[in-house]
Amino acid sequence: MDDLCAYAHRPWAFVARYIRRRAVPHAAIIVAVLGAVACSVSTQYGLKGVVDALGKGPQSGEIWTALTILVVFIAADNMLWRVASLIASFTFVSVTGDIRRDLFKHLTGHSPSYFADRQPGTLASRITATSNAIFTAENMFVWNVMPPCAAAFGAILYVGAVSIPMALGLLVICGGVVVLMFRIAAAGKPLHHDFAEKAASVDGEMVDLVSNMPLVRAFSAFKR
């Protein structure tokens, strides 16, 4: 295990460190989600094919072909979402376990004076908050960020097949929305940092307060 101090001011590198450890399942999740989004967007194309085939009359042999394509898109869409969920349910939890183990090992390498100046409950709370934050970030990216971005890009490609100017207009609008969202998120960064700092401090004080209660100390001594 390399020194975690090297990642003190490099959060992206810290997260990438654990993604690289489980690169294959993460790649499988991304491929499955992108495939599901592609099938979902293509479902509209399949529906268009069914409508066009119906317009040629009920006796047209293209109806069943178009209907089969539509059903395949719908089935693949649902199946790929379930495959991604199955892999993610193991992978994301394993990543949080890796982070907890590495951070606790990192703490055990410090001198006793380090813990004299810091509450053990606060340190444990920060480790838990870090692993939970990365778990939440991975879930939000895979289920809430990547699918709509991929769907918007796919929709622009389909529109570009019909009208290039309209596709460029949609691309400019999407780019403007993304820039605005990033600016809003950056404005709230100090608030998030302050909340995380105070939440860890409060959790640590509560843990230390409970652990120092006479009844808890007596019970701990009895167990030993």
pLDDT of residue 25: 94
Beta carbons within 8 Å of 93's beta carbon, 6+ residues apart: 135
Mean pLDDT over 121-135 rounds to 79
Instruction: Supply the pLDDT for residue 160.
Output: 86
- Quote the pLDDT of residue 215: 43
What dotted CATH number matches 4-223? 1.20.1560.10
What does the domain layout of the chain look like in residue ranges? 4-223
Rg (CA), the chain: 25
Q: Which residues contact 14 (CB under 8 A, 6 or more apart)?
A: 4, 7
User: Can you tell me whether residue 110 is helix, strand or coil?
Assistant: coil
Share of the chain above pLDDT 90, in %: 21
pLDDT at position 118 = 63
Nearest to 89 by CA among 45, 159, 28, 31: 28
Residue 25 in tokens: 């399942």
pLDDT at 212: 56
pTM: 0.74
Distance CA 133, CA 103 (A): 14
Q: Across residues 133-150, what is the average pLDDT?
A: 90
Tokens of 126: 């920060």
Write the pLDDT tens digit of every residue in 11-56: 788 888 889 989 999 999 999 999 999 998 888 888 888 887 777 7
